[in-house]
């Protein structure tokens, strides 16, 4: 198939070319997919897109002749599935590539925030060896709340159990593996009220959008640590900034941000930051942000490329794909 690969970085090109082995004709495009860049897909059978590409109805309408949307991601909240179906486009994704990559990054945020590693690193470089302000807490014996115990949440819960934490979970379905590992399923209200650390691992849906808002924050412990490696819009950023200012939120670790499409994956260091809300977030000493890199391990990038090429090959051969995303009925 002829595939237009949008938002392509050198590491995408290297991993996809290696997985492809010459099977498909891949056109690597640095541009994000949007209404302006959609015509670049002319003459291609498939579009390969990443998390911050725009796959809304007007953009899909501009992808003339495209039969397949091959997502290089697990999440598909950025795709208008109804429009894709109407336009006769199949949508395929990479449902699992390394839950360990994302779960371990979430743990990295917990540890760094708790022990102020980001601040200590800066201090040492300036010759400041004072410890004031760097005191952490033992994770052992603390209560960790996990929202969404699918592939990533389950790995995260297991790691935190290994630290000796009590793990509470909330999900629309119970994961028996988590239960067997000693995770206790509770209502959201109890998870909010009892957790010292809360980590989000559920998908972004209309139901989970702004799951963490003013009301949710008001039910949490004072000084709670919030970790989001899932999707930015799970958190109402304005509410969490208010929570940081009041002290309700004691630590915030983010790998994703509501308006990240305008920022993440690009080097904008020579430009003036236009997003005042994001700028405010970066001023807090107890906020640690990474730019959607939780997935970024050798193993995950290789798996994403191999599954993506496998999806395209399967669709070309059979017109179907085991990793197709179906419109909820």
Q: Which residues are catalytic?
A: 231, 260, 292
User: DSSP string spanning 96-147?
Assistant: -S-HHHHHHHHHHHHHHHHTTHHHHHHHHHTT----TT------TT-EEEEE
Select the span of 9-17, 150-158, 190-198, 267-275 touching ligand NAI (CB under 6 A).
150-158
Query: Using the rule CB under 6 A, which residue among 44, 142, 201, 248 binds ligand NAI?
Result: 201
Query: Using the rule CB under 6 A, which residue among 62, 148, 243, 250 binds ligand NAI?
Result: 148
Which residue, 60 or 256, is less far from ligand NAI as judged by CB?
Answer: 256
Q: Which of residues 56-85 bind ligand NAI (CB under 6 A)?
A: 74-75
Asked if 254 interacts with ligand NAI (CB under 6 A), we say no
Which residue, 6 or 156, is less far from ligand NAI as judged by CB?
Answer: 156
Query: Using the rule CB under 6 A, which residue among 203, 242, 280, 291 binds ligand NAI?
Result: 203
C-alpha 1, offset from chain centre: 29
Asked if 208 interacts with ligand NAI (CB under 6 A), we say yes
Query: % helix / strand / coil in the chain, to the nearest 5?
Result: 35, 15, 45
Select the span of 19-27, 135-143, 146-154, 215-223 touching ligand NAI (CB under 6 A).
146-154
Specify whether the CB–CB gap between 33 and 6 falls below 8 A: yes
Residue among 276, 212, 263 nearest 240 (CA): 212
What is the rounded (10 degree) CA torsion for 67, 70, 76, 81? 0
Asked if 93 interacts with ligand NAI (CB under 6 A), we say no
Which residue, 150 or 243, is less far from ligand NAI as judged by CB?
Answer: 150
State which residue has the least CB distance to ligand NAI: 150
Which tokens go with 289?
């942000």
Q: Which of residues 278-297 bind ligand NAI (CB under 6 A)?
A: 292, 294-295
Asked if 271 interacts with ligand NAI (CB under 6 A), we say no
CA pair distance 42, 48, nearest whole angstrom: 13
Residue among 146, 170, 148 nearest 159 (CA): 146
DSSP strands (E only) in the chain: 2-5, 25-28, 46-49, 68-71, 90-92, 143-147, 166-170, 184-185, 197-200, 224-228, 249-254, 287-289
Asked if 144 interacts with ligand NAI (CB under 6 A), we say no
Query: Using the rule CB under 6 A, which residue among 256, 289, 301, 312 binds ligand NAI?
Result: 256
Interface residue list for ligand NAI (CB under 6 A): 74-75, 96, 99, 102, 147-153, 170-173, 201-204, 207-208, 229-231, 255-256, 292, 294-295
């Amino acid at each position: 198939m002829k595939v237009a690969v949008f938002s392509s970085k050198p590491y995408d090109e290297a991993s996809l070319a290696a997985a492809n082995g010459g099977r498909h004709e891949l056109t690597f495009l640095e541009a994000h997919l949007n209404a302006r860049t959609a015509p670049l897909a002319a003459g291609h059978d498939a579009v390969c897109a990443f998390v911050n590409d725009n796959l809304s109805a007007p953009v899909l309408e501009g992808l003339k002749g495209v039969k397949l949307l091959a997502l290089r991601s697990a999440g598909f909240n950025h795709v208008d599935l109804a429009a894709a179906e109407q336009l006769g486009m199949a949508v395929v994704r990479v449902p699992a590539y390394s839950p360990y990559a994302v779960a371990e990054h979430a743990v990295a945020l917990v540890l760094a925030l708790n022990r102020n590693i980001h601040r200590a690193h800066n201090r040492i470089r300036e010759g400041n060896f004072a410890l004031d302000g760097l005191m952490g807490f033992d994770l052992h014996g603390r209560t960790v709340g996990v929202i969404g115990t699918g592939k990533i949440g389950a790995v995260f819960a297991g790691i935190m159990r290994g630290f000796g934490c009590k793990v509470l979970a909330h999900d629309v379905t119970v994961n028996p593996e988590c239960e067997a590992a000693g995770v206790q399923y509770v209502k959201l209200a109890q998870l909010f009220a009892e957790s010292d650390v809360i980590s989000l691992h559920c998908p972004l849906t209309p139901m989970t959008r702004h799951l963490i808002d003013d009301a949710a924050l008001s039910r949490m412990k004072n000084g709670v640590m919030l970790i989001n490696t899932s999707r930015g819009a799970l958190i109402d950023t304005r509410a969490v900034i208010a929570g940081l200012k009041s002290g309700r939120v004691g630590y915030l670790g983010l790998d994703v941000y509501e308006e990240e499409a305008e920022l993440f994956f690009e080097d904008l260091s020579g430009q003036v930051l236009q997003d005042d809300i994001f700028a405010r977030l970066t001023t807090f000493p107890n906020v640690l942000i990474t730019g959607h890199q939780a997935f970024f391990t050798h193993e995950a990038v290789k798996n994403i490329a191999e599954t993506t090429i496998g999806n395209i090959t399967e669709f070309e051969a059979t017109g179907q794909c085991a990793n197709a995303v179906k419109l909820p009925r």
